[in-house]
Structure 1
C-alpha cells in the first residue's frame, strides 16, 4: 500500500467545487413552548437546472425533519431534500423544514455551517445569507463601579506562595553573563527563545549577572528567586523547577521609559497541585505544529505541567499508527467524497491532517524542555467512528444489531469488546503510543458510551456468558481492564474520564478526570481514585463567555466568564486534597488559530491560578488586574485573547 505524506494528501484535488456563483440560503426561526421550527429557504441563483439535489449542512443540534422534508444525518452532518424529488430551476427556491425542542438556536455559533449542495455530478457552494437570530445583547461590565485595584508588587500569575519585596529596581540584563547548572540549561534556552536573544557565560563565574544554582532540598517544581542590585539568583532542584522560576522571571520583566526593569524582591514558591493540565482537542479540528508549540510556551509561562492531547474521536483520527496506515489515509480526512463525511462546518472539500511519528517526537521534546509532560488520549470504546470506518474489516461486527445514538448523533461509533479484532487493534495502537510518548500517562477516554450499545451483539453475549457478566455495561470495564494491564506492563498508567470508573474494574490508583461537576468529584474521591478536577461549568473553555448571542461557544453547561472560573474552587469544600486540575478546550467550534486563542484566553488563567496556588476566588479585583497584565503581554506577542471588558 502506498503511503502519502500530509503534504501530498493536502495537495490532492479530489473534489471540484463549482463556484461561478454560490447558491443562497436564508433561515427563518420560530419557537413556542413546545417546539422550535427552522425553515431553510434555498434559492437557485445559477443559470442551470439542478436535478436530484441534496442540501448538506452541519448542525450540532437535535432536530427532526419537518413538513415535506427528508433528512439523514451522520454526527453533525445533515443531508436534506424534498420528500418528493423535484428539480430546482434557475431563479426558483425551495423550502425545507427542521423541528426541535424549544430554544434550539440561542446564539450565532448554533447556526448551520459547512453548507453546500450536491447533485449526481457536481457540488455547489451554498452561503447562509440571512437569519433572524439577534446579533448581540449587551453584557454587564465586570466592575460596574469602574474600580480597578492594582496588582501586588510581584504581579505574578499564578500567584507565588511567598514574595518579599525590597526597595528599588534593577535593569533587565540585555546580554548578561550566566553561571548555570546543567539542570537549568533547558529553562534558560526557553527564556532566551521567548526573548529572542542569546546570552553567554562569562570567563569568570563571579561576574555573572544571572546565576542558576541547584538546591537539592527544594521540591520537584519548587524554586527560589532573588533579584537584587548585584545579581539575579535562581535556585531549584530539578529542570522543571528552573522552568517555573524562569517563567516568573519573564513575567516580572516590566517596560518603563523605553527600558526593561526587574523589581528587587525574593520569591519562594512551589505548586499546590502536582498535576496542572490543559487539554486540547485536535480531532474535531486539526491544529498545526506551530500552534501546538506556542500553546506549550503559554503553558510554561503560566506553570501548567501536563498537556493532554486529544488525538482521536468520531470526526477524525490524528495519530499515525504504522501498523494501520488506513488510520492516517482514511481516518484523518473528511469531505463529500471521503469515507468520513464533513463535520462541524468543515465543508465538502478534503479537510484534515495527522501527526507523524516525527511530529510527535518534536512535540514531546518541545514540551519536555519546558517541564511539561504530554498525555496522549486515544478515546475508547466510544467516540471511535473514525477508526471503525478506517478499519471496518477489523473493528465492525456485521451481525451486531444494537441500536443506539451517541450524544453527538452517531449510531456506529463504539468498539465491540466481543470481537478479537478489537484487542488486536488495541495491542498495536497502544504499543506504538507507548513508544512515541515517554510520559507515565496514557488517557483512554471511556466517556459517553451511549445506552443500548452491545445489546444486539451475539459476540458480546458470548463474552458476558464466559466472564459471568450480567450487565452489558460491564463490557466497558472489561475492555478498559485489558488496556490497563497492557499499559501497566509497559510502565504506563491509564487515565480516564469519570465514566471509566463505572463498573469498578479499574485499579483504585487510576487517575480520573471528573468533568460533570462537584458531585462526581465527591464520589470519585470517596471511592479512592486520584481525581483531576475539570468540571464543565467552569473548566470547559469551549462554553460561551456570556449569554450574548454573538459570543461564540457551546452552552449545554451554561456560560462562564473569567470571574466565574476564578471564583469557583475546582474542588468542593468538603473534599480533601486531590491530584490536580485541568482546563479542557474542545474544538467543535475552533477551526482556526484565532478562535482557539479567543476561547483559551483569559479563562485558562483561572485554572493556572487554582492549580499552582491552590486557592482563589476571594480577591477578584486583584486577580483581574494580574490577568489584564498577562493579556497585555500576550497581545504584545501577537495573541488575540478575548478582552475582559465588553466589546
Structure 2
C-alpha cells in the first residue's frame, strides 16, 4: 500500500497521480440520507475546529452516497470532480469521515484533498478504551475529549468505569444517596454526552462494578447491599440491582452493552453474611466459588432482560463457565482467574485487555506505543508471576470469538492527587499516545507498521487532535 499519514491505515489506499498532488474543491458537502444528518453535523464541527473552515450545503465539494452493497462497517472514497464517500450505514460513514478529517487541508476558503481511492473496513468489531472515572474525579469536559480521541482513530467503544470504592459517579433517582456528593455527573450531563458520542459513532459502555469494589453501596445502603466489603447475594439485593441496572439502561439508550464489573471481589466475606449463607442453601450451592458464579449469572440475566448484552471482567473460575451464558462478552485482562484459552474454548466472546501492553496506571505504569504495535489481540502477556501469562505469554491462535482489544486507564495512583483536573490532564497525555497504536492493531490485525512510520503519522495527527480539543468551545 502507498504511504499516507493515516492511523489506522486503510485496507486499500492509492494515489491516483504520481506526484500525489490533490485538488481544490468548494467547501461544500451534500448527502441525501436523512438519518445520517447528525454524523455530518459532527463532521462540520470537527472541520471547523481543526482548520477554521465552515462547510456549506452543496454538491461541489464532498458528496456522501449510500451504497447498500457495502458491509455496515465498510466505506469507499473516490475522487474525481468531487470527493465521493460511499457507505451503507452510519457506522461506515463515520469511519469514512474520520479518514477524510485526517487528510483534509484548506486554502483560500476551499478544501484541499488528495486524489485518492480508498476501500476500508476493520478486522475487529470491538476497539475500545476504558477510563476510570471513579477513583479520581474527572471534570466533565474530559469525557468529551475521550469521545473526540476515539472518533479520530476509529475507536468504537468507550467504557466508563463509573463506580468503585472511592465514588459512585452516576446519578440515581432509584437510590438517591448512592451518588457521591460533589463527585457525580448529572442526568442532563449524561444525556448530552450520550447524544454527542452517538452522533460520532462512539458507543458508550457504562460500567457499574458489582459485587466487589463496592464501598459506596455498603456505606449508603447497607440494609440492601450489605456491609461486608462485598455486595451481598440475597434476593432483595438482586431485586435492587434489577432496578439499578434498569436505570443505567435508560441513561444509555444507544448502548447495546452494559458492563457489570465482576472482578477482584472479596468473595470469602460472604461467609460472614447470614443472608448469603441462606441463599446458598436455598440454591443448593456448596462452595463460595459457586455463589460467585451464580451472582454473575444472575446479574447478567438482569442485563439480558433489559435487552442489552452483558460485559464482565475475567473474574470467575473455569468451573463456572458452563453456568454463564455464552452470549456474555468477557474482558480477559489478567490471566489469573482463568486462562483465556479456556474462555475461548468454552465459547465466550472475548475482548483482549492484556495487562501488558494495554494497561495504563498513570503516571507509574504504562507500556510504550511500539509495544502495542508488537502485540496481537490473540496474545496475553503479564509482568506478574502469578499470572498464567507470565513470563512467556498466552497465544490462543486466530479464532473468531476474540473480537478486539481494549486499552484500560486506571486511576489507582491518580486517586492520590489533590486536583482532579491535574490528574485527568496527566492521564490524557498517556492515553492519547497509546490509543493510535491500539487502533492500528485492531483495525488491521496483520499490520506490520514499524515505530518510525507510526510516530511520523502520530505527530501529524496528534497536532490535528490538539486543534480539535483547543477549539472545542469556540
The normalised TM-score by structure 2 is 0.86
Q: Please tell me whether the aligned partners of residues 513 and 532 of structure 1 are also in contact (alpha carbons under 8 angstroms).
A: yes
- Per the TM alignment, residue 613 of structure 1 is displaced from its structure 2 partner at its CA by 1.5
**8 A contact 1:223–1:241 mirrored in 2:** yes
Flag structure 2 segments of 5+ consecutive residues without an equivalent.
Answer: 380-394, 415-419
Contact 2:377 2:445 (C-alpha < 8 Å) held by counterparts: no
CA contact (8 A) 2:42 2:200 kept: yes
- Structure 1 residue 523 displacement after superposition: 2.2
1:623 CA drift (Å): 2.2
Deviation at 1:431, TM superposition (A): 1.4
Partner of 1:520: 339
**Equivalent in 430, 449, 455 of residue 271 of structure 2:** 455
Cα deviation, residue 270, structure 1: 0.5
**Structure 1: distance between partners of 2:29 and 2:222:** 61
Q: Give the aligned partner of residue 263 of structure 1.
A: 114
- The equivalences for 1:99-118 within 5 A come to none
Structure 1 position 209, deviation (Å): 1.9
Superposition deviation, residue 560 in structure 1: 1.4
Does the 8 Å CA contact 2:267/2:292 hold for their aligned counterparts? no
Could you tell me how far 1:374 is from its partner in structure 2? 1.3
Among 410, 424, 429, the residue aligned to 2:239: 424
Out of 267, 270, 280, the position equivalent to 1:464 is: 280
User: The residue matched to 1:602 in structure 2 has which SS?
Assistant: helix
2:355 aligned residue (536, 539, 546): 536
Q: 1:501 to 1:616 in 2, by over 3 A?
A: farther
- Contact 1:487–1:493 (CA<8 Å) still a contact in 2? yes
How many residue pairs align between the two structures? 436
**Match of 2:77?**
225
Partner of 2:252: 437
> Partner of 1:395 in structure 2?
225
- Please give the residue correspondences for 1:161-560 in structure 2 after superposition, counting only pairs within 5 Å: 161-167=11-17, 168-171=20-23, 173=25, 175-196=27-48, 197-202=53-58, 207-228=59-80, 230-254=81-105, 261-328=112-179, 332-333=180-181, 352-396=182-226, 412-418=228-234, 420-438=235-253, 439-450=255-266, 452-500=268-316, 503-504=320-321, 505-517=323-335, 520-542=339-361, 552-554=363-365, 559-560=366-367
- The alignment's TM-score, normalised by the length of structure 1, stands at 0.64
1:576 aligns with 2:399: yes
Task: For 2:256 and 2:111, locate their aligned partners in 1 and report how far apart those are by CA, in whole Å.
Answer: 40
Tell me the CA shift for residue 208 of structure 1: 2.6
Write the deviation string for residues 537-585 of structure 1: whole angstroms up to 9, x where unpaired. Answer: 1111226xxxxxxxx223xxxx511111111112135241322211111
CA contact 1:542–1:599 (8 Å) conserved in 2: no
| Other-structure match for 2:389 | none
Residue 564 (1) aligns with residue 371 (2): yes
In structure 2, C-alpha distance between the alignment counterparts of 1:482 and 1:637, rounded to whole Å: 43
Cα drift, residue 316 of structure 1: 0.4
**In structure 1, distance between residues paired with 2:225 and 2:201:** 38
**Hey, what's the Cα distance between the residues in 2 that align with 1:152 and 1:541?**
33
Distance 1:509 1:180 in 2: 37
Matched residue SS, 2:122: coil
Report the Cα offset of residue 633 of structure 1: 2.2
1:616 aligned to 2:447? yes
Structure 1 vs Structure 2 CA RMSD: 2.4
Q: Structure 2: how far apart are the matches of 1:530 and 1:457?
A: 33
Question: How far apart are residue 434 of structure 1 and its match?
Answer: 1.8
Which structure has the highest helix share of the two?
A: 2
- Cα distance change, pair 464–153 in 1 and its aligned pair in 2 (3 A): same
Partners of 1:314 and 1:433 lie apart in 2 by 19
Once the 2 structures are TM-superposed, how far is the Cα of residue 295 of structure 1 from its aligned partner?
1.3
Paired with 2:371 and 2:85, the residues of 1 have a C-alpha distance of: 35
State the SS of the aligned residue for 1:272: coil
Distance in 2 of aligned mates of 1:392 and 1:460:
14
